[in-house]
Structure 1
Amino acid sequence: MSSYYARYMSGEHEAVWNDLRALGDIPEDLVDDAAAVADETMIRVAQHVARIAAALPEFGWVSSDRLVPAHQPPTEDDDDLVDTLIDKIGGLPLALEACLRRVGEVWFAGDCQVLELTYHQQPAPRGTPPGPEYPDPLCLGNAYSLSYELQRCDDPAALVFAIAPDESTKANVAGAAHGIELPALTADAVLHGVAGRPGITLVDYLRESVAWGGFPGFSFTPELAPAALITLRTKPDF
């Protein structure tokens, strides 16, 4: 029987992730194989994130926080911190662990007229997400974000990691967060609080984000997506 990693490398990206999710907690004898899939997945995600982040300034994109760049790749210190966090929390979903190690911090929230992205600029959104007024720019916290939330948590056995603001908060409207329940020993993790996508997992959310050039909120009304987005969109290879 072919390994999950071998199947993944042969192109069975979605099928392999579906099979890994169906396992629930990953059996010990399959951890290395599943972790290899997660690692390769997030290597590819990181490449797409870096590509989009490099292109955003060409569209006149300005971060909603001048101190936060579009992408901050992880360092060796991040990697060491992830090891510590796994011990303290009691286990991370393999997809989240690989994301922290390979992707790092992502922050596409900001202002960009060409991409119809608003934060400080007007007009402010009037409706509620999902919809074209809420492009849902991709944002991901890094290992230090998780460490900070762990320090604030009274019970590490019931931690919900706010890996990103939700669609409203990204548009400078009062909202909440996209969260992952921890600890967990699964391959993937449900990303709670994503408007219009109940039960979506981290990997599937990242797949949708890359497919829409880092702004998956436009998928709900593709006919209203800005024309410039086509240059950032691509078919996910993970």
Structure 2
Amino acid sequence: MSSYYLRYLRGEHEAVWDDLRALGPIPGHLAEDAGAVADETMIRVAQHVARIAAALPELGWVSADRLVAAHQPPTDADDTLVDLLVDKIGALPAALEACLRRVGEVWFAGDCPALYLTYHQQPAPRSMPPGPEFPDPLCLGNAYYLGYEWEQCADPAHFAFALAPDELHKANISGATHDIDLPDAVADPVLHGVAGRPGVTLVGYLRESVAWGGFPGYSFAPDLAPEALITLRTRPDF
């Protein structure tokens, strides 16, 4: 039987991830193969994130936090920290571990009239997500944020890692977070709290995010998406 990784390289991206999810906790003899798929996936995600991050300033995008860049790639120190966190937490889903090692911190929240994106600027949303008033800019915490949250965790056996703020917080409205339950040895964890996407997994959410140029909230009202978004959108290759 061909390995998951070789099938993935042949272009069976969605089918391979479907099969890996069906495994539940990854058996030990498949861990290396599944890890290779996750690593290759997140290498590709990182390339898309870097592309979008480089294009955002040209559209007039300004970060919601002027001290936070749109994309901060991981360093060797991130990689070392992930090793420590795997030992402390017990198990990280393969997709999350690879995301921390390959993608790093992402922060597309901010203001950009060309993308109808508001944070500090007006108008403030009047509805609730999902919908066109909530573009859901892609945000991902890095290894340091996971480490911080783990140290604050009162019950290590039931730890919800807040990978990102939710759609409300990304629009500067009091809200919640997008969470991943840890520890967990599955390939692709459910990302809880994503409006309109019950049961969506991390890879599924990232696929939708890339397809919509880093702003997957517009998928709920494509006819109302800004014209400028076309310059950021692409068909995911992972």
Question: 1: distance between equivalents of 2:134 and 2:168?
Answer: 7
Q: Could you tell me which residue of structure 2 aligns to residue 181 of structure 1?
A: 181
In structure 1, give the amino acid aligned to 2:216: P
SS in 2 for 1:162: strand
How far apart are residue 125 of structure 1 and its match?
Answer: 0.3
Question: 1: distance between equivalents of 2:15 and 2:28?
Answer: 21
Question: 1: distance between equivalents of 2:98 and 2:163?
Answer: 14
In structure 1, give the amino acid aligned to 2:173: V
Percent identity, aligned pairs only, is 77
How far apart are residue 157 of structure 1 and its match?
Answer: 1.6
1:154 counterpart = 2:154: yes
SS in 2 for 1:106: strand
SS in 1 for 2:147: helix
In structure 1, give the amino acid aligned to 2:218: F
**TM-score normalised by L of structure 1:** 1.00
1:127 counterpart = 2:127: yes
How far apart are residue 156 of structure 1 and its match?
Answer: 1.5
Q: Could you tell me which residue of structure 1 aligns to residue 96 of structure 2?
A: 96
In structure 2, give the amino acid aligned to 1:189: P
Q: Could you tell me which residue of structure 2 aligns to residue 65 of structure 1?
A: 65
Question: 2: distance between equivalents of 1:185 and 1:203?
Answer: 15
SS in 1 for 2:125: coil
Question: 1: distance between equivalents of 2:206 and 2:39?
Answer: 14
SS in 1 for 2:117: coil
Question: 1: distance between equivalents of 2:94 and 2:157?
Answer: 17
Written as runs of structure 1 = structure 2, the 5 A alignment for 1:24-103 is 24-103=24-103
Question: 2: distance between equivalents of 1:237 and 1:25?
Answer: 25
The superposition leaves residues 181-236 of structure 1 with CA deviations (integer Å, 9 ceiling, x where unpaired) of 00000000000000000000000000000000000000000000000000100000
The superposition leaves residues 61-86 of structure 1 with CA deviations (integer Å, 9 ceiling, x where unpaired) of 00000000000000000000000000
Written as runs of structure 1 = structure 2, the 5 A alignment for 1:158-237 is 158-237=158-237
SS in 2 for 1:156: coil
Question: 2: distance between equivalents of 1:92 and 1:212?
Answer: 27
Question: 2: distance between equivalents of 1:205 and 1:105?
Answer: 16
The superposition leaves residues 116-165 of structure 1 with CA deviations (integer Å, 9 ceiling, x where unpaired) of 00000000001000000000000000000000100110122211000000
How far apart are residue 30 of structure 1 and its match?
Answer: 0.3
In structure 2, give the amino acid aligned to 1:28: G
Question: 1: distance between equivalents of 2:118 and 2:92?
Answer: 33
In structure 2, give the amino acid aligned to 1:148: Y
SS in 1 for 2:206: helix
Question: 2: distance between equivalents of 1:63 and 1:157?
Answer: 35
Gap runs ≥5 in structure 1: none
Question: 1: distance between equivalents of 2:157 and 2:73?
Answer: 28
In structure 2, give the amino acid aligned to 1:166: D
Question: 2: distance between equivalents of 1:81 and 1:156?
Answer: 18
SS in 1 for 2:114: coil
SS in 2 for 1:47: helix
**TM-score normalised by L of structure 2:** 1.00
Cα root mean square deviation, aligned:
0.3
Question: 1: distance between equivalents of 2:199 and 2:232?
Answer: 26
